[in-house]
Structure 1
Amino acid sequence: MAGTTLDDLRLAAREAYIFTLPLVEIATTRARGQAAGSPMNVFGHMRRLADHKARAVTTPNNDTFYSTAQVDLSAGPVTINLPATGDRYFSLALMDAYTNNFAILGTRTTGPDGGTFTLVGPRDAADGPNVVRSPTDHVWALARILVDGPHDVDAAKAVQHGLSMQGPAVDFPGPFAHRGAPWPEYFETAARLMKLNPPQVSDRAMLARMAPLGLDAFNPARFTAEQAEAIEAGLAEGRKASRSSGLGGDQFIDGWSYPSARLGDFGQDYVLRAAIALAGLAALPPVEALYMRAEGHLPRALLDGNRAWRLHFPADRMLPVNSFWSLSLYEATDDGQYFFTENPLNRFAIGDRTEGLQHNADGSLDIWIGHADPGEERRANWLPAPAGPFALFMRAYLPKPELLDGAYRLPPITEA
């Protein structure tokens, strides 16, 4: 492009990486599913809770069964059948190709009785009370079905069995590069995904900043060696920016970070969207589930499992939720992702539904966290950690208004 400087190219590459990382992460997730034999437009059901072996998606929960479908609406609508769920927490998040939750069906929104819904693409003419329109042809449908302990597994599976999808048989075009690919491969993939899922008109300002890369007709061979170096530098800046924040944000209050109100439906907050695609892909909006992260003393706000930690809830300051809460512990990878860690209790989260959880005589609650066994009297409330760095995330499902508006704050993690 005439008049394009090296700084223009560097900035364009930085912005383009940030803008397209969610597209690439979902495509990578989709490719894993297809490699495992999961067809498009059909739900696949994960009938066991995530543990330390679950590495497909960063920051999984250990509270719900997942059911997942990668959807292509370019050949026509799909029909989604939701089961009746009664008092059980259930949500079906519908995410566009850029990871925005454009609709959530389930407990909070459509109620406990289930129903049949038609999911249509941006150019489909269908309309009606049970029609849900996606802003992109490619959609990720991700259901979470509460499992209320080992005794509840069979009942939860029965609910899961009632969730289904019917739609045209389609093949998703590939292969696609991953987020760590060299810049020519990465941006070639990004350009193809943007053609399949055109950005919204509200993205025009960002697209103008990306224009020097020419993603609308991407040709890496047209750049000189000097220009390629500038693009590579911009890509590195984009990768760094995408690791700068995550599920809980960067600001801590009493030792906890709280998510942006834009989480899960990002608007033009592209850096947040990229950071969540990396560290918390498929995160729900705060009104559905509030994600909070504990502040640690180590780099990247991690805590040290070789030290003993305590989370104390006074009797009159329990977490205010309309469904349930869960504290999850993760080991951190070098590239900013989080996964459960193997431990002697096979316990990856602890919360208000944990079997055998013991309250103190005054009604307060202590949770003990660390690598060393805290002893028989405390073991029922122990969340085991690795002998090294770890991260803590609190999930509050269907948070009450005082938690959403900041009137309630979590008590800090302290050294035991």
Structure 2
Amino acid sequence: MKKIQPVLIICALLASGMLHAGTECDKRYYSPEWHAQAPTVNAFNYVRAETDMQFRNYATVYKAFGKFAHGRKAYDVNKQVTQTGNRDTRYSFGVFDLSKSPLTITLPDTKGRYMSLMLISQDHDIYPAYYAPGSWTFTQEEIGTRYVMFGIRTFADPNDDKDMAEVSRLQDMVKVEQKDKGDLSGLKKWNEKQMLKLREAYNTLGLSLPDSSTYFGVKCDRSYLMNAMGAAVGWGGLQRRDALYIPATVKKNDGKTPYVLHVPKDVPVDGFWSVTVYNKDRYMVPNELNAYAFNNVTAKKNKDGSTTIHFGGDPKADNYIPIMDGWMYVVRLYRPRKELLDGKWSFPEARVAK
């Protein structure tokens, strides 16, 4: 008998109303009843399975349990744990157990440099970001799950050694206070093959949306379906008020047809904008030029202040990024202004190079 694909199951559930956007319906999909079915992964516990796996990977691969593991270099393309990672910021990650005692995190004064602290619960709740400087305390009662992960993004120019050194200094000033850090024994182990199939299905649905504006938030802010698509397309993304993520796939993404993206001088953001290229699986592909992304600081400007990014074509062109068969790109807009959030201003799209 032919197996029914996960994406068809999800579409059927959506049509039946079982993945309704109402908050009362949503709360059912975060109940212990679904979590108790581990290791089996289904459409309704996918988010918890994906998040538990992500937490375990970060805690073990980066040795980031009960403390922050600071990335001292630009995002390592040879050690990618999460899809759609970025190289515009230096990451700091930490997975914490709140069951034993509260946790306090303090960010230093960055003198205006972008540094944000984001919180992710086991239900993939994404809380509004906290910005340096400041100090905040978190409890299990407040967050609602035993484990949480915090991610710190600090803007860094990978082409400037002095700037990279300053980022390291700021990272070292981040302070963590917790009397009892607990342990990882409460993280369930899920069926990875089942989880990956559900990820693919939700990812397929997610690609039908023009941007990430409805993906990220807390339980009552968006439907379970939106949460699941967000976890599949870009797990751990910032809330819409803190960042807009625009995934884009061109028609001729065969890796041979070059494209260009013309970005105007004034993009309405209070943080910064960036463009990153990924393969069909949403991972960066290592290349000899070490070219994966450009932003409004690292990109070379045109005479009028605008920026032209070259996808494929002449490797000697300004702001050149190699492409591959099935490639796509993601635009990130940090701290977007009102005109972006209201849809009155749209980021341009890539066009076939002439």
- CA separation of 1:279 and 1:178: change in aligned 2, threshold 3 A: farther
1:133-148 alignment to 2 at 5 Å? 133-148=142-157
1:320-339 alignment to 2 at 5 Å? 320-333=268-281, 338-339=282-283
1:310 and 2:260 equivalent? Answer: yes
1:343 and 2:290 equivalent? Answer: no
Matching residue's letter, 1:242:
Y
Q: Please name the residue that 2:23 is paired with.
A: none
**What SS does the corresponding residue of 2:241 show, helix, strand or coil?**
coil
Select the residue among 11, 14, 21 that pairs with 2:46: 21
Select the residue among 311, 315, 328 that pairs with 1:369: 311
Matching residue's letter, 2:298:
T
Select the residue among 212, 226, 235 that pairs with 1:272: 226
Deviations 1:139-173 (A, max 9, x none): 11111111134230000111111112122131111
Distance 1:391 1:137 in 2: 36
**What SS does the corresponding residue of 2:236 show, helix, strand or coil?**
coil
Deviation at 1:174, TM superposition (A): 5.9
1:177 and 2:189 equivalent? Answer: yes
Deviation at 1:273, TM superposition (A): 1.3
Select the residue among 117, 124, 146 that pairs with 1:92: 117
Matching residue's letter, 2:331:
M
Deviation at 1:383, TM superposition (A): 1.9
Q: Please name the residue that 2:5 is paired with.
A: none
- CA separation of 1:314 and 1:153: change in aligned 2, threshold 3 A: closer
Q: Please name the residue that 2:204 is paired with.
A: 244
Distance 2:147 2:186 in 1: 14
1:77 and 2:102 equivalent? Answer: yes
Distance 1:37 1:396 in 2: 27
- CA separation of 1:272 and 1:345: change in aligned 2, threshold 3 A: same
1:394 and 2:331 equivalent? Answer: yes
Deviations 1:109-137 (A, max 9, x none): xxx4x233211121xxxxxxxxxx31222
Q: Please name the residue that 1:297 is paired with.
A: 251
Deviations 1:16-62 (A, max 9, x none): 62332222222212222343472632112121111421321111110
Distance 1:295 1:175 in 2: 35
1:410 and 2:353 equivalent? Answer: no
- CA separation of 1:373 and 1:25: change in aligned 2, threshold 3 A: same
Deviation at 1:403, TM superposition (A): 0.9
- CA separation of 1:70 and 1:390: change in aligned 2, threshold 3 A: same
Distance 1:283 1:159 in 2: 22
Over alpha carbons, which structure has the higher Rg? 1
**What SS does the corresponding residue of 1:70 show, helix, strand or coil?**
strand
Deviations 1:289-316 (A, max 9, x none): 1101223226xxxx2321110112345x
Select the residue among 164, 170, 184 that pairs with 1:153: 164
Judge conservation of contact 2:104–2:135 (CA < 8 Å) in 1: yes
- CA separation of 1:178 and 1:278: change in aligned 2, threshold 3 A: farther
Q: Please name the residue that 1:105 is paired with.
A: 130
- CA separation of 1:296 and 1:264: change in aligned 2, threshold 3 A: farther
Distance 1:314 1:348 in 2: 20
Matching residue's letter, 1:152:
D
Distance 2:277 2:321 in 1: 8
Higher deviation after alignment, 28-37 or 42-51? 28-37
Judge conservation of contact 1:102–1:134 (CA < 8 Å) in 2: no
1:210-229 alignment to 2 at 5 Å? none
Distance 2:120 2:79 in 1: 21
- The TM-score with structure 1 as length reference comes to 0.69
Q: Structure 2: any 5+ residue segments left out of the alignment?
A: 1-8, 20-28, 35-41
Deviations 1:361-410 (A, max 9, x none): 4444321111x435x4xx22212223x12110000111111111110112
- The TM-score with structure 2 as length reference comes to 0.80
What root-mean-square deviation, in Å, do the aligned CA atoms of Structure 1 and Structure 2 show? 2.8
Q: Structure 1: any 5+ residue segments left out of the alignment?
A: 1-6, 107-111, 123-132, 187-234, 252-256
**What SS does the corresponding residue of 1:250 show, helix, strand or coil?**
coil
